[in-house]
Each structure stands twice: as structure tokens, then as C-alpha cells.
Structure 1
Amino acid sequence: MKPIHTIDDVIAILQDIIDTSIQEKNPLGYFAALYQKVTIKVKEGIHNGFFEDGPRMEKLDIIFAKRYIDAYYSFTQNKVVTQSWEKAFLLSKKFWPIVLQHLLIGMNAHINLDLGIAAAEVSKGAPIENLKGDFDKINSVLSSLVLDVENDLAKIYPFLRKILKYTRDVDNFLVDFSMEIARNGAWDFAVQLSNSQENNVNEVINERDISVAKTATLISKPGIIANIIFGIIRLGEKGSVSKKIKDLMD
């Protein structure tokens, strides 16, 4: 793996993961494609002075991204990863999960576990509350991409919007894993970590990982009704895995 010193390094490595996934027809590329979009938006925000502290935001982005990138390469080399990422990565081995489930389970691991860890780490030596303004601005960047993601998914499955609109069970399922809930939990976790004694940090992270992994199971196994609906969506998804990755990059 290439060294990571800048946000451009992050974008380049994500492109490597995307290219490999397209070549291997691997669903792991779905989340990588979405994540690269987010990272490019953060880079634009730093360049345009959107954040209170641009250098700190780039450092946060690098720490945050490295957790995903390290987990990805560890998994591909059959090394141990967090339970949250293991659940996400193992989903790529199965046929039936739809693109949306792959994205949600990746977001679950990265936002609910990794974001809090990165926020606490970048805040070492200063009150974590100093980061809150920029942390909230990251949330607005993520939120701005929600419509993009919906449009990308509509290319893959044209009737997805109608199904989500008229099917309460799936709609509730998506609300339960909304990005707002995930982000709020990430900040609370970051504050908890920041206030923890050094010798307790690993224990706090492990406990959080177990909890986030349980949420991952709900995403991959949402219940009989949702599974039936997702099965119909899966059979109707347009294009190969490689094509769907490319659609998510547009």
C-alpha cells in the first residue's frame, strides 16, 4: 500500500481499490466509490475555506480514511480486522445483498466506529469541543451527497424510489440507519473516547465495535419482509458489479 500523507494520497488509494474492484467484479468497490466522492467533497471544502481549521480537517480526513484503507487491505490479506468491518467486507461474498445494503453496512462501520476514533485522535492535546464546529460541517458534506447517492441507485434500479416510497417496512429500515443518527452517535463516542483514561481506550473501542457489529447484522439480515423486497430489487438491479461501481462514481 502507498504511504498516506495528504488527502490526495487518500483519493489515489481509493482509486486503486475502485480499479481493483472493477477488475475483479468485487462489490467492495461500491463503498470505495461512495467514499471517494465524500473525500473529494471534503478536499474541496478545505480548499474553499469551508472548515474552521483546514489543516486539522485534512489530518482528520487522513486518520479517518486510514482506518478504512488499513481494514480493507488487512481483510484482503486474511488478517484480523474489527468486527464491524469484517461484517461489512464479508457481505461482498454474498449474491443477494443489494447495493444499498453494501453502502449502509460500510457507512455503519466507518461512521459509527472509525469517525469517533479519528475525531478523538486528532483532538489529542486540545479540548475535543474545539472540533465540534468542523465535525458538524463534515456532516453537512455527507448530507449533501445523499441525493447524489439516491440518483446513482436509481440508475442501478429505476424503480427503487417508488418501492422505498410505498413500502413502509423498508422505509423504516432506512430511517433507523439514517446518517443523522449515525453521526450523532459518532460524536458521542468521540467525546467518550476523549474523556477515557489511556489504559481504557482499547476497551472502550472494543465495546463500541461489538455494538456496531450488531447493527451490521441488522443491515445484512433486516427481516423477512425487507429481505423479500430486497430480493426483488436485487434481481432487478441493472448491470454487472463493475458497471454498478462505475454508476456510483458518476
Structure 2
Amino acid sequence: MAQLERFAELRPPAYGVDAVAARMRALGAGWPPRDGVAVFNRVYLSVTEEVGRHLDGGAFPDARAASTLAVRFAERYLAAVDAAGDGHRTPACWRPLFQYRRHPGISPLQFALAGINAHIGHDLALALVDSCHTLGCEPADVEDEFDRVGDVLGSLEERIREELMPGPDLLQVGDPLTHLAGSWSLERARDGAWASARALWALRELPAVAEEFGERLDEAVGLVGRILLTPLPD
């Protein structure tokens, strides 16, 4: 599956943030709560709802740009869900989560972090490029919206860790889950996504090189996801 759509074929989003949130709710209702994709879906739904509240409250300088970015971002995840549901090969960044979604030795926190890693480490960069083509602008023109969406994600990261950590007895430096969770950073993933988006934008006149860059990014993020989903002893 090609990871970069043909930019010329991109159309404006046919629906808004509320519609993608509704789709996530419908998906979650059909999955067992302990399912690894369902765990991530709940986390991502809370982020999407928060972005929607910010949009309604006028928190974004350019609401159209922010909405476009949020929807293009969600489309990447929903496309992976559809591919997995149809028995097709998902992008490499998502493959570990779909492969291990029912593994009993993996904690909900690991599932959530693996999904966030795939979505921010890979999908966010491509979604920003998609958005720039849709809006007819440069990445720098939507940097404020990118940062504000990232701030929403960042504000939820600590809550996610607190809610999904099994208990205070695991808050020790030597504990495997604490060590694994502490080895991944949302802030660094955001910074990487911004740099990757700028590189992809600079390569837009070299589609073969951009495609190869996107594939390598996909594979690298998938490798991190596989490490985050290492089964841990009880």
C-alpha cells in the first residue's frame, strides 16, 4: 500500500471533526474494551472531542486550517482500521497494534502508546502535507494550528499515563512497564512529525524520493511500535 497519496487527487474533507468523532464512537462500540485498538480508539476519541471543543470555542487562529488538519489526521487512522477490517495490509506503523491487539501479556498503556506512536510519528506528518495541498498553503502557514493540536495531545498524555498505569507499585525505575513507557516521548514524536512534514513538502517535486522517504518513516515508526508492544511479565 502506497503511503503517500497522489497530492493532486486530494479533495477537501467531506466531513468535519464531529463526524470523525462519531465514527470513532461507532467503532469503539463494536470492539471489546480490552482490545488493543479499542484502547487507542478511546484515547484518540478523547483527543478529537477536545479538538472539537477548542474549535467551537474559537481557540484556533484559523478554524478552517485546524479542522482540515484534524480531519486529515483522523482519516489516516480510519483508513488503517478499514484496511485491517477488509483483510488488507495496513501501513507498517500500524501493523504491530493490529497484530497484537488481543495479546494478553500487553498492558492497556502499551496499546495506547503504540497507537499514539503510529499516529503521531507517521500519520501526523502526512496529514500536515495533505492539509497544505488541500488548503493551498505552505507548512509554515499552518504551524500555529499544528502546535495547538499538538498542545491538546500533550495535555492528555499525562492523564493517559495516570489512568492506564496498573498501580502505584509499578511507579519504580526498575519496573519494565515504567521503563518502557518512559522511553517514548510525545513531544519528541511531535517534533519529528514536523521535521518529516517539512522534508516531504520540500520533496513534493520529487515524488519517487518522497515516496521512499515516507516508506522509511513508516517502517521506522513501526519498529518503535513493535518495541512498545513487547509483552511484559506479570
TM-score by length of 1: 0.81
Tell me the residue number matched to 1:119.
128
Which of structure 1's runs of 4+ aligned residues deviate more than 4 A? none
Matched, 1:81 2:83: no
TM-score by length of 2: 0.86
5+ long unaligned stretches in structure 1: 222-226, 233-250
Tell me the residue number matched to 2:4.
none
C-alpha deviation, 1:54, in angstroms: 0.7
Asked if 2 retains the 8 angstrom alpha-carbon contact of 1:27 and 1:92, the reply is yes
Q: CA RMSD in A?
A: 2.0
Tell me the residue number matched to 2:61.
52
**Correspondent of 1:96 among 92, 96, 105:** 105
Matched, 1:231 2:233: yes
Q: Which segment drifts farther, 92-101 or 169-178?
A: 169-178
Tell me the residue number matched to 2:187.
180
TM alignment of 1:195-234, pairs within 5 A: 195-198=202-205, 199-200=207-208, 201-221=210-230, 230-232=232-234
Q: Equivalent residue of 1:93, what SS?
A: coil
Structure with more helix by fraction: 1
Any idea what the Cα deviations from partners look like across 1:32-62, whole Å, max 9, x if unmatched?
0000000000011111111111111111111
Cα distance in 1, alignment partners of residues 30 and 177 from structure 2: 32
Tell me the residue number matched to 2:145.
134
5+ long unaligned stretches in structure 2: 1-12
Instruction: State the AA in 2 paired with 1:50.
Output: A
Instruction: State the AA in 1 paired with 2:97.
Output: A
Q: Which segment drifts farther, 79-88 or 11-20?
A: 79-88
**1:63–1:44: structure 2 CA closer, same or farther, 3 Å change rule?**
same
**Correspondent of 2:23 among 13, 34, 43:** 13
Matched, 1:29 2:43: no
Q: How many residues align?
A: 218
Percent identity, aligned pairs only, is 24
**1:176–1:71: structure 2 CA closer, same or farther, 3 Å change rule?**
same
Any idea what the Cα deviations from partners look like across 1:44-88, whole Å, max 9, x if unmatched?
111111111111111111111011011012102111211111112
